[in-house]
Amino acid sequence: MIYEPKPLQLDKSLYIASGVERHVYLHPADSQKLLKVMRPQEDQGKRFTFRDITTQLFPAVRSRLIRKEYDEYIRIQLQNPQLEQRLPITHMYGLAHTNLGLACVAERVAGKNSPVGETLRQKSDAGTIDNNDLIALNLLVSQFYQLGIRAGDLKPHNLVFGTRDAGFECVLVDGFGDIHAIPVRSLGKCANSLGLNDSFKLVGERTGLIWNKSERSFTFPA
């Protein structure tokens, strides 16, 4: 007898948001998880960034980006098997078949009054970044340097404020892993730190926060 697994059934009631490459849904059977379903190539829209043009011309690049994300998650977990604090990136739980296609199963970062937390981009646009947010963001920063986490797409829209088991946190929910064509950040911790400096500087420029490279932290503008 051939085993044929039944795909998870997703519908509009479970839909949360869409990224450039994936649609995000609540998991129908586990409130702690999300399902990120790959968008069809023709449904991604036309943007003119290097990454988007590359994925349009070379569709296999999309699967490479996902593999890099899982590779980085596994690398950090194996290097820190007894880590007492939560990782500043979402936990990854493998893949699942759905009626809409193959999905990445990821940890959900819950909002106070919504299924998922607010992004740094949303808080910046609304002018609602407060002291608790800044503390949580700087904790994420220190963990990234301490653990040597590589993130090729560390942007405000991928940084989410919300709750997991440990309480209120800032978490990178997407874009971790050395996704660059030339994986310079994988050369070592020093090279990765230089890359993180550039990424966090860009986060500051896009949100109005002040990035202090020597202190490796953000502050509010004077």
Mean pLDDT of all residues in 149-178: 92
* pTM, 2 dp: 0.87
Confidence grade of residue 50 (pLDDT, cut at 50, 70, 90): very low
pLDDT tens-digit series, residues 116-145: 999 999 999 999 999 999 999 999 999 999
- 153 vs 200 pLDDT, higher one: 200
Task: Count, in order, helices (H) and strands (E) of the chain.
Answer: 5, 10
Which residues on adjacent β-strands are paired with residue 211? 218
Mean pLDDT of the chain: 88
**Domain containing residue 79: CATH number:** 1.10.510
CA dihedral for 130, 132, 138, 140, sign (positive or negative): negative
Please report whether residue 189 resides in a domain.
yes
Given the structure tokens 């997703």, which residue do they identify?
10
Give the pLDDT of residue 3.
Answer: 64
Residue 140 lies in a domain: yes
Domains identified in the chain, total number: 1
Determine the distance from the C-alpha atom of residue 40 to the mean position of all C-alpha atoms in its chain, rounded to a whole number. Answer: 20
Query: Shortest CA distance to 175 belongs to which of 59, 46, 36?
Result: 36
- Per the CB < 8 A criterion, the answer to whether 175 and 151 are in contact is yes
| Domain assignment of residue 59, given as a range | 12-219
